């Protein structure tokens, strides 16, 4: 784990994002892949959009660049770099001004999800690797260079094969990254297996928490209705996808064999965790003999000891269920600059969530857990 920064943190967003600058792929992606790089194109209303798959549809930017945009003005299309897209989404110095205005001390940073998930699904392993490397390099050498004690980068590992995953994890550690993230199982296989164990062992050895943002690439369809279900599908899908991943890891004995390995479920909410804990304990007692499963702890205890879940909006989880979840297993986030964020009113949102919550527990959820987990 890197040395502590010496900074005092009162509010930390455990999940914020960047949106790639217009020249990210042109400037940072290996030149030999430029013909297959994501291309900046126009959406149906003349706004900017990224084309990640030549055979797919452009990905407009409106709902992932919501800075100074009232809710009634939010829309997918018609947003352009240098015009109505605020530079803080891709410029670290501008982001620091936003953090100051919002009263947020630091952010744990995640990528443009559509870009990373698109690279994760490419058949060409070298192109996938190059895309991840371009993003990781830009993030740390450009965006976070503005102040790496406040802009905390998470290193993304391409799901190619076990050797690559372990090598990339060790590289992340050598470069000073405090956390790493997966978009698929480390072995590159579709299912978790003992083949993944050397990766978990390396994460435990290096003290690097492993994040999964929302779920794995290709884990579920991205199809939504013509009305986008009001954004509600995305708001609840994370808990479903994450539950599959963390339960798989518990029952396959990952945390039993590697008790120092820590998993972070990002943007998955917390209110579902007490019921999940009850159900997995029940199924463990009913089926462990039949299936030959013998864990060192109850499954629910691994949820508390080896798993942290981040949330944006979860008043029930915070006010009513935090002790059933475990206060150390929760972390607040803004999701800035996506449309779920409340900038510049994050402190107001926090106050609404933490009614009658003791000050020490409040601090732990909005800052302390991230300070401890990432050695800040």
The low-confidence residues of the chain, meaning pLDDT below 70, are: 1, 220-232, 234-235
* Domain of 361, in residue numbers: 12-37+90-374
Token pair for 182: 């997966």
pLDDT of amino acid 226: 43
Q: Which residue has the tokens 């199982």?
A: 185
The answer as to whether 48 is a domain residue is no
Is 3 inside any structural domain?
no
Please give the pLDDT value at position 131.
97
Are the C-beta atoms of 19 and 66 separated by less than 8 Å? no
- Tens of pLDDT, residues 137-181: 999 999 999 999 999 999 999 999 999 999 999 999 999 999 999
Name residues whose C-beta falls within 8 Å of residue 337's C-beta, 6 or more positions apart in sequence. 16, 17, 19, 64, 65, 66, 67, 86, 88, 89, 343
What is the per-residue burial (b if ≥16 Cβ within 10 Å, else e) of 247-284? bebbbbbbbbebeebbbbbbbbbbbbbbebbeebeeeb
Residue 59 counted as domain residue: no
- Does a structural domain hold residue 239? yes
At 55 the pLDDT is: 87
Task: Return the pLDDT at 4.
Answer: 79
- Residue 108 pairs in a beta bridge with 152
Query: How much is the pLDDT for 239?
Result: 84
Tell me, yes or no, whether 45 lies in a domain.
no
Q: Domain total for the chain?
A: 1
| 71 within a domain of the structure (yes/no) | no
> For 128-138, what is each residue's pLDDT tens digit?
999 999 999 99
pLDDT at 236: 80
Q: Are 164 and 129 in contact (CB under 8 A)?
A: yes
Q: Say which CATH number the domain at 276 has.
A: 3.20.20.140
**Axis-axis angle for helices 232-251, 273-291 (nearest 10):** 30
How far, CA to CA in Å, does 42 sit from each of 157, 189, 217, 252, 321? 30, 36, 25, 46, 45
Residue 285 domain flag: yes
Total number of residues shown for the chain: 376
Residue 231 domain flag: yes
Look up the pTM and report it: 0.95
pLDDT value at residue 225: 45
């Amino acid at each position: 784990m890197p040395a502590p920064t010496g900074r005092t943190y009162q509010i930390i967003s455990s999940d914020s994002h960047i949106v790639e600058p217009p020249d990210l792929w042109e400037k940072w992606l290996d030149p030999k892949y430029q013909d297959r790089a994501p291309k900046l194109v126009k959406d149906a209303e003349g706004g900017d959009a990224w084309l990640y798959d030549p055979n797919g549809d452009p990905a407009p930017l409106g709902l992932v660049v919501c800075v100074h945009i009232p809710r009634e003005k939010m829309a997918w299309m018609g947003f352009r770099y240098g015009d109505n897209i605020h530079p803080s989404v891709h410029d670290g110095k501008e982001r620091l001004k936003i953090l100051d205005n919002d009263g947020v001390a630091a952010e744990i940073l995640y990528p443009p999800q559509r870009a990373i998930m698109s690279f994760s699904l490419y058949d060409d392993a070298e192109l996938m690797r190059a895309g991840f490397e371009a993003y990781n390099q830009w993030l740390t050498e450009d965006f976070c260079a503005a102040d790496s004690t406040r802009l905390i980068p998470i290193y993304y590992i391409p799901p190619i094969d076990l050797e690559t995953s372990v090598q990339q994890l060790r590289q992340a550690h050598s470069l000073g990254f405090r956390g790493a993230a997966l978009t698929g199982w480390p072995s590159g296989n579709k299912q978790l297996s003992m083949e993944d164990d050397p990766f978990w062992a390396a994460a435990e050895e290096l003290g690097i928490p492993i994040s999964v943002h929302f779920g794995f690439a290709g884990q579920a369809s991205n199809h939504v209705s013509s009305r986008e279900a009001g954004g509600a599908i995305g708001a609840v899908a994370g808990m479903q996808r994450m539950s599959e991943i963390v339960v798989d890891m518990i029952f396959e004995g990952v945390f039993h064999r590697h008790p120092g390995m820590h998993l972070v479920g990002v943007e998955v909410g917390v209110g579902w965790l007490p019921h999940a804990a009850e159900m997995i304990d029940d199924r463990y007692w009913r089926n462990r003999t039949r299936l030959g499963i013998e864990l060192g702890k109850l499954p629910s205890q691994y949820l508390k000891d080896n798993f942290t879940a981040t949330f944006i909006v979860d008043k029930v989880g915070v006010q009513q269920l935090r002790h059933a979840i475990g206060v150390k297993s929760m972390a607040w986030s803004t999701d800035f600059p996506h449309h779920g964020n409340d900038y510049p009113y994050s402190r107001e949102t926090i106050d609404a969530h933490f009614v009658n919550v003791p000050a020490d527990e409040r601090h732990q959820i909005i800052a302390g857990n991230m300070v401890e987990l990432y050695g800040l």
